[in-house]
Amino acid sequence: QVFFANVHFPTFLIQRLLPRIERGGCVLFTGSLMGIEPHGMALPYGVSKSAVHALTRNLVKHLEPYGIRVNAVAPGFVDTEWQKTKPAEIRRSIESKVALHRFALPEEIAEAFLFLFTNAYCNGEILTLDGGYSFR
């Protein structure tokens, strides 16, 4: 079910929508830090997000003749309602592994999507926003 939601559905949706996407358009995917940095508690999710990253890169050549760019944002831990329900000790543990010592704000992730959408030279990018989690 996770793979269907994260990989199959977007793949077939693009296939169906391709004739309607204008030249110069951009497809944006939501990847995840868990698709880059393995996490023991999220195997199906991490593998599916790794597939989203591979799909992003592979679609560059497929969409090239149509003049369509494809990119993805791979957020780390974002301060969403779901994350806010985690016990304080788990949140502190995660924050201690992030170089900025905090979760991302949803607005910060939105800015990344906007950047990839508006920058006409970005193609095949997987923009990781993890606050330095990868460097700790």
User: Which positions are catalytic?
Assistant: 45
How far is residue 22 CA from its own chain's centroid?
A: 23
CA distance linking residue 18 with residue 93, whole number of Å: 43
CA distance linking residue 21 with residue 14, whole number of Å: 9
CA distance linking residue 70 with residue 101, whole number of Å: 31
Strand partners, 71: 28
